Structure 1
Amino acid sequence: MKKPKIIFIDLDGTTLDDGPGLKFWQKDTTEYTRKTLLELNKTIPVVASTGRGAKESTSKLVSNFGPETYIAWNGAKTIENGQVVHEYAFSKENTQKLFDELARNFCFVVFNSDGRNSSFARNKFLRLFMGFAKQYAKPYKAFKNDFTIYKAFVWSWSTRRIQKLAKKWQEQYKGIFEIAITGSKNNRLEITPADCSKGSAEVRYCLSKGIDPQDAMHIGDSLNDASTKGKIGTLVAMKNSVQELKDIADVVTEYECDESGLAKFLEQFIEKTEN
């Protein structure tokens, strides 16, 4: 396998292998994965590329295995050494357009990964079906288009329904919204401004460093990683990936995330020193 000049890694379901069965906000990397990534970072830049937000918790995670450098919210923000070097938010007009569409279809939504302050459901009854953030969700009527939105995390009570909406909106709002299906069951949506995806952000990051995107590698597990196909040289799917990602990936790892599959796969790129 060709040795990449830069490696982009998803976090949830890919890198965070400590604590199988824990909620996503409780997960971390094992010591083995941390050491592997730190060693690899000495010769090949390893950059997290995630749907998670540009938040202190994300910065803390990535700082465990390298610089505080990562692509957040599927490309809506890029952080380099703790500083925002790129950001792309919804316009106020498109924010309202998005919220109206979500409300019309009775969707649950969390904006900017802020479940405590920016989560919404149609009413108190329906929010009981939200799972994540249900204790904080406000009714639609409480929404005010008075803050900057980078990403919407969207779901419904039916997987089939959310998949139908994704297909419809990808056509209806082409050039306005970027809609990525995510989740281990393809039952969640991550919505960002148009052309704001992991793939686009990674190409931009590579070019800023003088690296040909075809010499880059992306490793992930869900369909929000699919945007890197054709933009980044090598797409690697974790063994635990959704089948749709495995079908388009160039490589599938031998082990799952919870088996430290990322670190085991990346060890091949660590330069060995002779005693």
Structure 2
Amino acid sequence: MSQKLIAIDLDGTTLNSQSLISSRTAEVLGKAIKAGHYVSIATGRPFRMSEQFYRQLKLDTPMVNFNGALVHKPYQKWEFERELSIEKDIAFEILAQKEKLNLDFVAAENRETFFINDLNDFEGHFFATDKVTEANLFSNLTTNPTSLLIKTQHQFSAQVSDALSKQFENKIDVRTWGGPNAILEIVPKGVQKAMSVSVIADSLQIDQKDVIAFGDEHNDLELLDYAGWGVAMSNGIEQLKGIANDITNKTNDEDGLANYLEKYLAL
């Protein structure tokens, strides 16, 4: 079998509902790497909230963060690296509508820094850090962020997404995170995972037909469409299943990705 690039989403796909990678999933991904394939994470999460999984899987491949706004090779200089950003004024304009849109918090970040509107809204476990001081407040945001993260309630999610997409129509795209929280991510217009995974494939000289991708949510649509073989999780959204080449038999809580990959690659 030719060498494959396996692009894996995290929330709702590689991670179970406790936001962990099971030992079985880690073992199968390890076997795929030993068999000569590449495993690359492609997530909406920032690097600091996905770094632990990169380390757990002992990866040295490039990865995609912020739904494609950042493609980089962690801990190394990499000639194909790129990071795109949003005008910071957009962050302040969204923050001004926090009450109107029923937002719990607004956070802005790039690879190194992040800012949140109010320290009372801060959930340390969610942001994978406890180092938060006045320095992280929005008033200190002086550069253009790579991504904005907003949290709302599930019942408002679609409405918030529509309102912001209309208001800033040619500047941003609004993406949904998988997982238990109603998290919307705002990225520069036209940014999506497939664009950045194709950069990784080119850098590794892997043909598009040899890219296998796994996902569960709206932010995986372009990725599964781009991949030579796109696999939707059985717990994924219907729209994604509609464009996928195949669907796992089991959910992210039953090692659906691992079981599928083991059979598909005959590991």
Q: Which TM-score bucket, shorter chain as reference?
A: 0.7 to 0.9
Contact 2:194 2:223 in 1 (8 A): yes
Partner of 1:35: 27
Cα distance per residue 1:41-76 (max 9 Å; x no partner):
132111011112112x52231232242432111112
Partner of 1:208: 203
Segments of structure 2 that go 5 or more residues without pairing to the other structure are: none
Helix, strand or coil at the partner of 1:74: helix
Higher RCO, Cα 8 Å, sep 6+: 2
Partner of 2:82: 86
Give, in angstroms, the shift of residue 254 of structure 1: 0.5
Instruction: Kindly report which structure 2 residues correspond to 1:1-275, keeping only aligned pairs within 5 A, or say none.
Output: 5-17=4-16, 20=17, 22=18, 24=19, 27=20, 29-42=21-34, 43-55=36-48, 58-69=50-61, 70-83=63-76, 85-100=81-96, 102=98, 105-107=101-103, 108-112=105-109, 118-120=115-117, 143-157=139-153, 159-184=154-179, 187-270=182-265
TM-score after normalising by structure 1: 0.76
Cα distance in 2 between the residues matched to 1:93 and 1:110: 13
Contact 1:163 1:186 in 2 (8 A): no
Between 1:44-53 and 1:86-95, the stretch displaced more is 86-95
Contact 1:179 1:189 in 2 (8 A): yes
Contact 2:115 2:141 in 1 (8 A): no
Cα distance in 1 between the residues matched to 2:133 and 2:195: 32
Contact 2:109 2:145 in 1 (8 A): yes
Cα distance in 2 between the residues matched to 1:98 and 1:230: 31
Contact 2:11 2:179 in 1 (8 A): no
Cα distance in 1 between the residues matched to 2:139 and 2:54: 32
Cα distance in 1 between the residues matched to 2:196 and 2:97: 26
Segments of structure 1 that go 5 or more residues without pairing to the other structure are: none
Give, in angstroms, the shift of residue 181 of structure 1: 2.1
- The change in CA–CA distance for 1:175 and 1:229 in structure 2 (over 3 A counts) is farther
RMSD (Å), alpha carbons = 3.5
Give, in angstroms, the shift of residue 155 of structure 1: 2.6
Cα distance in 2 between the residues matched to 1:167 and 1:63: 36
Give, in angstroms, the shift of residue 269 of structure 1: 4.0
Cα distance in 2 between the residues matched to 1:203 and 1:59: 21
- The change in CA–CA distance for 1:264 and 1:156 in structure 2 (over 3 A counts) is same
Contact 2:165 2:173 in 1 (8 A): yes
Cα distance in 1 between the residues matched to 2:39 and 2:138: 41
Give, in angstroms, the shift of residue 191 of structure 1: 0.8
Amino acid at match of 1:167: D
Q: How many residues align?
A: 254
Contact 2:116 2:138 in 1 (8 A): no
Helix, strand or coil at the partner of 1:109: strand
TM-score after normalising by structure 2: 0.78
Helix, strand or coil at the partner of 1:230: helix
Give percent identity, aligned residues only: 24
- The change in CA–CA distance for 1:59 and 1:117 in structure 2 (over 3 A counts) is closer
